[in-house]
Amino acid sequence: MSYLANIANGLLTISIIFTGASCLQAQDTTSFPEIPRIDVHTHVADDLHAISNYHKVREILKQNHGVEMAMWINLGDRNKPINSYNEVIKAGLGRILCCISDYSAHDGLKYAPNELPTWLERGYVGYKIWAGPPHRRLKPGQEGYPYIDDPAHEPTFAKMEKIGMVCASIHIADPHGPWGNRTEWLPDSVEYWKEITAWRHVLEKHPDLVVVSAHGMWSLCQDGQIDYLRNMLATFPRLNIDLAATFQYFPFVTRENLRSFMIEYADRILFGTDVGRWTDPTETSQYARRYFRCFQILETDRVTKGGFFGQNEIKGLALPKDVLEKIYYKNAMRIYPGVRQSLQQLGYSIE
């Protein structure tokens, strides 16, 4: 090979290396750095160390992926409720809003209806209720629990409806689909639909109740469920859903059906993850990566291995920018008190 040929070959090799590097960088960076993102389904509770981890995740997303992770809505959790509201708000630096929460709804809702206005006045932005499968909360010797449409719950929902308190990421049922007999899922289709139907009864009685149903109301796991969810959203205009812990189920539905649903009901879908707390600092970058995988699924048509949870390969939905804006922050800004003001105070340019 001649001297000039060697030089040309070397330049070609360098070109290939740098082209590959730039492609990798492009794949690792959002195409929508200007869109702020809000996670409406988190369980940081009042763990101040965990809150600092959330800030670190934000920094990693910004630095490595160009992502602007703006805020989180804190739902507490069953083991650590939010008892130190002022400390959480201070540690959150304007990026964390809090809900009161109840993870034992089958034992009766713990907040009296006349208490609810006081919680709103204190700055809480909604009421998180866990009302999943009764069998997951059975005590020894106990045969069953009441469903979410139990008459004892009516005064609470009526009060929330009257004062405009958001039913924040209420958990109904659990996933039902073709995945085997795992105990945390609902293999019994009859039980699954009994719980979904009980929730429908509540919405029929309280049409003005503002609702965000957690996990897509667990109705994004099969194509038939998506069709039913279309019916629910069309019937109840104040019903919304979050996407927390749903991404891993996207391979089990038809991509075109899911994508058209997301576009059709973009005004009613909110971004969420179901992220909790972690103590190992080495996990922080992993959580940032989980977030970015979810963003890739929504923003691109590339195949991503895993959503926030799981390792299933998922072909991205490549949603339009206006749809992403609604899912990432505009719907949360419309539904939750304080979100618009907080975004403005943080310096975001919003419509």
Look at residue 319 and tell me whether its pLDDT is greater than 60.
Answer: yes
Give per-residue pLDDT as tens, 54-91. 999 999 999 999 999 999 999 999 888 888 999 999 99
CATH (residue range 43-345): 3.20.20.140
DSSP-based three-state secondary structure for 71 = strand
Kindly state the average pLDDT of the residues 93-108: 93
Torsions phi, psi for 315 (to 5 deg): -80, 125
CB distance 104 to 76 below 8 Å: no
Contacts with 69 (C-beta within 8 Å, 6 or more apart), sequence order: 36, 37, 39, 57, 58, 61, 62, 291
CB distance 174 to 132 below 8 Å: yes
Closest CA to 114 of 169, 74, 158: 158
Per-residue pLDDT band for 175 (boundaries 50, 70, 90) equals very high
Give per-residue pLDDT as tens, 17-53. 233 333 335 579 999 999 999 999 999 999 999 999 9
